[in-house]
Every structure is written in structure tokens, then in C-alpha cells.
Amino acid sequence: MTPEGKVKAAVNRVIDQYKSVYKFMPVPGGFGASSLDYLLCVGGKFVAIETKAPGKKPTDRQKMVIGQITRAGGAVFVIDSVDSTHELKAFLERNHHAPRPSEPET
């Protein structure tokens, strides 16, 4: 497993503890808009996660996407080690049981 793969496995272990969290991992194909490694919905909040191998930083394109998400009010985590998931765990613990907004009438 690659170093970034180990980080993703650690992130998956954290997220999978919370069954009420929606998780989507876009597969980059070279077409369309760029995104980050994980897109989540947690208690009605939009969350994105970029995983990196230890010591690596987001690319300029990833920084642009991070800026777009944070300006729109979303939360972003950049996780670069198996041991650096504590902020994500704390966020999920605080938010995963948040009440859902009312569903629209049909």
C-alpha cells in the first residue's frame, strides 16, 4: 500500500465509525471539475478531505478547490498521516448526530 493509501485507510476507519455520514470518493478521470479525495455530508454540513502522503502538501489546484469550499461555508481537512485524524474525529463526534433539516413536502 502506498503512503497516501495508508492515510486513506486510516481516514476510512474513522469515517466508517459514523453510519449517519454520507461519504463519496470522486474518481479523477481528467474530465470536468477537480475535487478533493472525500466529499462528506455530516449532520447537514458539507465536508471535504484531501489526503496526502506524509510531508506532502496540496497542489495549487487542490488549494484552489479548498478555497472554493471554505468560501462557500464548507469544512476542509488536509490529512497527511495516519496519526493526524484527531481533528476529523472530533468534528465527526460533534456533528454526526445533528438534526436534519425538515424534508420538503411533496
Q: Residues 36, 46: contact at Cβ < 8 Å?
A: no
Domain ranges of the chain: 3-27+34-71+80-94
Lookup: cell for 95: 456533528
- The pLDDT, as a whole number, for residue 98 is 56
Whole-model pTM above 0.95?
no
pLDDT tens-digit profile of 13-34? 999 999 899 999 988 766 767 8
pLDDT tens-digit profile of 64-102? 999 999 999 999 999 999 999 999 999 999 998 755 555
Exposure b/e, 16-31, CB count within 10 A at least 16 = b: eebeebebeeeeeeee
The domain 3-27+34-71+80-94 is classified under which CATH number: 2.120.10, 3.40.1350, 2.60.40, 3.30.70? 3.40.1350
Q: Minimal CA–CA distance to 96: which of 24, 25, 36, 44?
A: 44
